[in-house]
């Protein structure tokens, strides 16, 4: 099996069920895309390799080799003093979605870390809202990748847009 966890990264509880095939057997050498697709419909609070991803607790709704969609429900601890989504949490949702997409689909190539993140805040989300984060790999080179993310209401209205460059820091 490919090494899924870096030095000092604890194995999340219950991650093995992502490796189960339709027949109930475990995949012996899953690709990153197979791991992502195995997580569709699952809450990241149980399976994310990122502690932040576990706290955000999105539900993966779709994934392919270059994009994913994650659904989040805005909880009280994600809001500011006027009960709208906090800007820092908005950035975390976008960064975590983009980082998860790139790192899981790049299993075995090394770890990619965010070197910059630009977020444009376009509209509010409120306590209890269900919102969708999308992440897309725009370009991936040997050492650096460029990604784009959107956070939208389920009706398509934009909340935020982000672009990010991630640098490979290990192989």
pLDDT of residue 170: 72
pTM for this prediction: 0.84
3-state secondary structure of 23: coil
Please say whether the beta carbons of 102 and 113 come within 8 A.
Answer: no
What is the bridge-based pairing of β-strands 144-153 and 158-168?
antiparallel
pLDDT of residue 59: 97
3-state secondary structure of 81: coil
Task: List, run by run, the mean pLDDT of 10-residue segments along the chain (171 residues).
Answer: 44 47 51 86 89 95 95 98 97 97 88 96 98 98 97 98 94 63
The residues that bridge with 63 in the sheet, in sequence order, are 68
The structural domains of the chain, ordered by start, are 15-168 (3.10.129.10)
pLDDT of residue 132: 98
Q: What distance lies between CA 7 and its chain's CA centroid? A: 20
- Residues 126, 58: Cα–Cα separation, whole Å: 16
Q: How far apart are the first and last CA of the chain?
A: 16
pLDDT of residue 29: 58
pLDDT of residue 14: 45
pLDDT of residue 60: 96
pLDDT of residue 108: 81
């Amino acid at each position: 099996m490919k090494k899924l966890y870096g030095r000092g990264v604890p194995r999340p509880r219950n991650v093995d069920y992502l490796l189960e095939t339709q027949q109930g057997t475990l995949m012996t050498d899953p690709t990153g895309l197979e791991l992502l697709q195995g997580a569709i419909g699952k809450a990241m609070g149980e399976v994310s390799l990122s502690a932040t991803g576990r706290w955000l607790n999105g539900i993966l709704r779709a994934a392919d080799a270059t994009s994913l969609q994650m659904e989040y429900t805005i909880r009280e601890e994600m809001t500011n003093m006027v009960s709208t989504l906090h800007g820092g949490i908005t950035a975390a949702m976008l960064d975590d979605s983009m980082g998860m997409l790139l790192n899981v689909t790049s299993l075995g190539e090394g770890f990619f870390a965010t070197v910059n993140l630009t977020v444009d805040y376009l509209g509010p989300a409120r306590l209890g809202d269900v919102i969708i984060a999308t992440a897309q790999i725009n370009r991936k080179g040997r050492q650096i990748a460029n990604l784009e993310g959107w956070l939208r209401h389920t009706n398509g209205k934009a909340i935020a847009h982000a672009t990010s460059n991630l640098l490979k820091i290990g192989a």
